[in-house]
A = this chain, B = another copy of it.
Amino acid sequence: MRLSKGEAKFLRSLQQKKIRDREKKFVIEGWRALGEALHAAAAIEYVALSPGDLAEGWAELVQELQRLGVPVKETDDATLAKVTSTVQPQGVLALVAQRAFAPCDLLSERATLLVAADAVADPGNVGTLLRTCDWFGADGVLLGRGSAELYNEKVVRSSVGSLLHLPVAEDVDLAAALGEARRRGFMVVAASANAQQSYLTARYSTKNLLVLGSEAHGLSGEVRAAADVVVGIPRYGRVESLNVGVACGILLAHLRSRRPG
């Protein structure tokens, strides 16, 4: 089966946010991301690949797709390059259905670890944040208003598939969501570069919601007011701030290391 011109045009149109929003679909690129999508049982509509690029080790992925009944459409490198904005096209892409979660879906009874981002605008940072939350087994992520769009190409690329299996709510009113989280028994832990309290000495709960501020503006006043505790990471050097994904990793690693098991 070959990828049609109309399909190529549609894939290309998904570079625009308004089309993605309307169609509720997005494109993932590369064999690794495709593997993650299969692993996460993502709703893959079809896969388009350039047979010349079928590198060793990926043939079985194609067999797996065929076994699952996912259409695999052949095309060429030039077409793949045209439908994506990647500088180095990776020989394969897939059309995938977006998933949508509301904050209340994430604030469930069995959730014990959630992360919220307060206006993290850089797509690469949101991607790294999602990947880090995935690694540490967070139950979900709340992206507050002003954060990068979840299905932005750069977020998709830098999250390395994490947005396929991690429940994420977008465009969240954080002040309202944090209030709801507290009512549902979560301790709201906000991170700030200039907090008095170190994350190492703070006390946490068994259900924690970690909030990270934007790099440019830190935590908003509303979020700070809704937090049970504001913690910082002690600084030993001179730079003014840590990357938000790095801060997230340090805090999640600490929360995980405190737990039995």
Contact = CB atoms under 8 A, between A and B. Distances in A.
Contact of A246 (B128, B234, B254): B128
A132 B40 CA distance: 31
A110 to B, nearest CB: 15
Nearest to A162: B239
A235 to B, nearest CB: 6
Given A243-B131, A243-B245, A247-B249, A238 B40 contact: yes
Nearest to A256: B236
Interface in A121-158: 124, 128, 131-138
A248 B237 CA distance: 15
A19 to B, nearest CB: 22
Given A124-B124, A234-B256, A256-B234, A249 B242 contact: yes
Contacts of A166: 237
B134 A239 contact: yes
A257 B200 contact: yes
Given A128-B246, A246-B245, A237 B135 contact: yes
Contacts of A85: none
A109 interface: no
A161 interface: yes
Interface residues of A, number: 41
A32 B238 CA distance: 13
A138 B134 CA distance: 28
Interface of A: 32, 36, 39-40, 124, 128, 131-138, 160-162, 165-166, 200, 233-243, 245-250, 253-254, 256-257
Contact of A249 (B124, B136, B250): B250
A204 to B, nearest CB: 15
Contacts of A240: 32, 36, 160
Nearest to A234: B256
Contacts of A165: 237-238
A119 to B, nearest CB: 17
Most buried by B among A36, A133, A161, A233: A233
A133 B235 CA distance: 10
B131 A238 contact: no
